[in-house]
């Protein structure tokens, strides 16, 4: 009997925009890894060979105490990680622009039961001094207790902490009895920018646990909580299940991470995305009337331009307003963004800005 399929491609595979690195498809090497992991039976819920080997891969990057807990998505990773490192009365200090505060639908608070204590920052980066704005009141039963600092690397504004800056934050937090979580949705882009190993600004800097992002760097789906300091967390495996983040066919998440991290795919893909963002930033800076708002240190560019120009440009290229009232937009590059994509976008932007004169 001949097998048939009704699968139809419903999009132009050559179409690319600048809205999000989540828009990109899966890297061919990731798809090949999934095909290799398919076939036959493997034990479910993480007791498979791929998840076992992922532990070795993660320890190669983060050190011998690292333990990996694959999950479905970034919000799930952050919620599980933050729950594991806090008590029921605990609070999280984070930047006012942090993804956990702005873009996770209240999940850390409604699902995780956590109070977020937010701090305004410059370019999305916390400092010890900014942390101290909320790091107080531990003996006050009327106040949620600050128990963990959450930073993002790279930040939600595309900026990057140096290893020294993270070490200062970790030392400061630990001296006050707090732990440090790193939201690493774009952790590979940070390593590519800094030119250092992943552990240089995580394990070696004193980070206790992190959310490792794969989807924005070429994976089909899946993220991972990586515990670096086992003494800082509790009940990870129970919280992962309780938070609906335990994959039955976990091998298909783990196999992707193995393909991403066992070699240099993670770094190749992130370096390319960063390079395309640098090219885009260089191009748009030559266009009169366009202002780049933050240092371009990863695969993100934030800019300000006339609102109507953005609206016209959006008819040809997908991208998002960041602050629509101010005219601020965000442009993202991906592992599959090409130089031709960037140059065509800059040309279109220049043409639309020319119509304003």
Please report the pLDDT score of residue 256 as a whole number.
98
Mean pLDDT of the region 199-208: 98
pLDDT score of 1 more than 60: no
- Secondary structure string (H, E, C) spanning 130-161: HHCCCCCCCCCCCCCEEEEEEEECCCCCCCCC
Q: How far apart are CA 192 and CA 291, in angstroms?
A: 25
pLDDT band at 40 (very low <50, low <70, confident <90, very high): very high
User: Residue 54 corresponds to which tokens in the numbers above?
Assistant: 């992922």
Domain range annotation of the chain: 28-261, 265-354
Q: What percent of the chain has pLDDT over 70?
A: 99
Tell me whether strands 223-227 and 209-213 are parallel, antiparallel or unpaired: antiparallel
Mean pLDDT of the region 35-55: 97
Please report the pLDDT score of residue 200 as a whole number.
98
pLDDT score of 356 more than 80: no
pLDDT digits (tens, 9 = 90+) for 78-120: 999 999 999 999 999 999 999 999 999 999 999 999 999 999 9
pLDDT digits (tens, 9 = 90+) for 308-322: 999 999 999 999 999
Please report the pLDDT score of residue 4 as a whole number.
64
Please report the pLDDT score of residue 357 as a whole number.
60
* Mean pLDDT, all residues of the chain: 96
pLDDT digits (tens, 9 = 90+) for 112-170: 999 999 999 999 999 999 999 999 999 999 999 999 999 999 999 999 999 999 999 99
CATH fold of 265-354 reads: 3.90.1150
The top-level CATH class assigned to 28-261 is alpha beta
- pTM of the predicted model as reported, rounded to 2 decimal places: 0.96
Q: How far apart are CA 300 and CA 204, in angstroms?
A: 26
pLDDT band at 14 (very low <50, low <70, confident <90, very high): confident
pLDDT band at 181 (very low <50, low <70, confident <90, very high): very high
Tell me whether strands 115-119 and 90-95 are parallel, antiparallel or unpaired: parallel
pLDDT score of 2 more than 60: no
Give CA angle at 112 (107, 114), nearest 5°. 95
pLDDT digits (tens, 9 = 90+) for 239-283: 999 999 999 999 999 999 999 999 999 999 999 999 999 999 999
What letter would DSSP give residue 326? Answer: T
pLDDT score of 334 more than 80: yes
């Amino acid at each position: 009997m001949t097998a048939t399929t009704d699968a139809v491609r419903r999009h132009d595979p050559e179409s690319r925009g600048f809205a999000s690195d989540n828009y990109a498809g899966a890297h061919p090497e990731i798809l090949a890894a999934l095909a290799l992991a398919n076939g036959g039976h493997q034990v479910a819920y993480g007791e498979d060979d791929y998840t076992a080997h992922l532990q070795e891969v993660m320890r190669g990057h983060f050190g011998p105490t690292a333990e990996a807990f694959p999950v479905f998505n970034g919000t799930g990773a952050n919620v599980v990680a933050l729950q594991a490192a806090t008590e029921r009365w605990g609070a999280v200090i984070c930047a006012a622009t942090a993804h956990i505060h702005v873009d996770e639908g209240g999940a850390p608070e409604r699902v995780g039961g956590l109070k977020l204590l937010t701090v305004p920052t410059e370019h999305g980066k916390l400092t010890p001094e900014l942390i101290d704005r909320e790091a107080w009141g531990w003996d006050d039963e009327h106040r949620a207790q600050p128990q963990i600092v959450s930073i993002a690397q790279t930040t939600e504004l595309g900026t990057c902490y140096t290893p020294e800056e993270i070490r200062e934050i970790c030392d400061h937090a630990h001296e006050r009895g707090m732990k440090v979580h790193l939201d690493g949705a774009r952790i590979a882009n940070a390593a590519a920018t800094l030119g250092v190993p992943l552990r240089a600004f995580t394990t070696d800097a004193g980070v206790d646990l992190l959310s490792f992002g794969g989807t924005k760097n070429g994976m089909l789906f899946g993220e991972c909580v990586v515990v670096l300091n086992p003494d800082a967390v509790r009940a990870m495996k129970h919280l992962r299940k309780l938070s609906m983040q335990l994959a039955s066919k976990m091998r298909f998440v783990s196999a992707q991470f193995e393909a991403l991290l066992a070699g240099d795919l993670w770094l190749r893909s992130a370096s390319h995305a960063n390079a395309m963002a640098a090219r885009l930033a260089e191009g748009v800076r030559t266009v009169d009337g366009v202002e780049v708002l933050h240092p371009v240190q990863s695969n993100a560019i934030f800019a300000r331009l006339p609102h109507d120009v953005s609206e016209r440009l959006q008819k040809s290229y997908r991208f998002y307003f960041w602050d629509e009232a101010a005219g601020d937009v965000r442009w993202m590059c991906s592992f599959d963004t090409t130089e031709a994509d960037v140059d065509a976008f800059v040309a279109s932007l220049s043409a639309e800005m020319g119509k304003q004169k």
